[in-house]
Structure 1
């Protein structure tokens, strides 16, 4: 079965790409067609989009491997695509939105293959093709993508603070240092609405001095930090409580510094150079910046542990992006209660750094679900 691995570095057209995703087969041979596809899209996609497409296309390649060793497209048509969609749905019950996303990625990949002559008469916008698609402003889509998108799962309630606290109370890490790091990262998610990759990208240079922080705490003022790594690579300036920043600075000067000393000592013994990363949160295993997937997996593992211990139920779901949902939902609730603000959604859109106020529909639905359950 195909699997995803990551090259430490890929240099293409003179530009270096770190942790570039690759799809390999059971014999550890790189799928060259998918590599060409990802390289062709590297300028258009963000890092997060690239990793998402990689997972989706890998699922598709795995399915082809089960059917023929060569992974050819010869037998693929509308009926095959529908059967594949049903299989994904059966594997992921209640995740119709995921089925739609995966199918969309597969359609995009196949359409690229058709346009670059890696297949012929397989997919196109007329009936002469075995798979008929429709043009959109962003590319092409298929009726199955639209169908599963409409069947999408009902909105989830943003994880309540008490659910998050329950997850945090679970005994998970053997080290107190790791516990402090994890709790701090969770706070950046739910108090500031940062996404996982934004939390992991926070740098030491972004944290204000202790003197500035203590003054802001006394005056009960927020400090502002500039985010350089965001969704869509748009720079943003966000307010952060002095208390959260002080906790972060304490971590940097204590637990983080101890970890850096450990890796420097190990490197010295091995006669190697160790250059600490600029990021605030570093891995206790590699000494490099903690990856967002590691953070996401840690939170999920703790939620599953709370589930197993009977402290939470399946409906009381806590996930990394849910921390941002909690932040956005709380902001929308609070601002909606202020009579002097004419358009709470527009203000909330700015605070949560969304491009369109329609994106807030999911948070409005979350508030409705919360009110129903209260």
Structure 2
């Protein structure tokens, strides 16, 4: 059983972070924030996938101003991602951002940071102090060296220095991230800072890579930390459609039995007994279950011989044969169907069971 680290609770819009609240799964849009319709459309897709909090890049005043129109059309809290220009942080909050992500060290000095913090207090907005290994202050790098698994001092000290600056001007609605592109440095950094503060921690491996490399690196780092009770919110950073980040995030939480959303999909890796297009079948089922909320266990198996037995705990499953397939429930055959009708019959029954499960919740 995982015992989570106790942290100070903050609010990001309507979503609690820390203090024992469910671990929030986040993503970030890759649209031009100033293009409201495109940004809203992507956020809607993220919402459908279960995204709890979304972050948008604010590169200029047009993007900061667009936040108001975006907020009017979405249902989840929005974080404005700010670098270098303190005025964009203030403008984002004036236009309805629920939280801002800043690195106070690159806002242009203490006086400008003070103005940002005072605006956050006035608008009741929380702040994420985000420090990356690539954006550490020069004096800390000179003093401590570049972060490594054995030496995370520069990262930790940068985060704490910036947190103390925000605290100095009266704001404690803070969450912290200290990301690195190196898995072991990320793990060590979060382990160390979790002993130093009780603020909620946002987990992530920065610049993790594409679908496979990014998923592996993020799952290793975040899986280890989460298993140790560290982390209150997370993002799986992928060079990919941001919806994929949400899918991986929830699968990671499900694998550790921390949080579940929607069905669990079981599928076999295929072997020489497989006589149907299992890859295509699994992909179509996977696309549909992403839209489901009910906690069904769904199986897609390659052969009739082993399908129901290997996946006997599944609420519903499908297994292929030579020109035919079977649909089974809890390990027992429910219906045998011709291959060309298998998907349609299976999906119809899956939708029916999903609706019944939701009605019984």
TM-score interval for Structure 1 and Structure 2 normalised by the shorter chain: under 0.3
Q: Which has the higher helix share?
A: 1
What TM-score, normalized to structure 1? 0.22
What TM-score, normalized to structure 2? 0.22
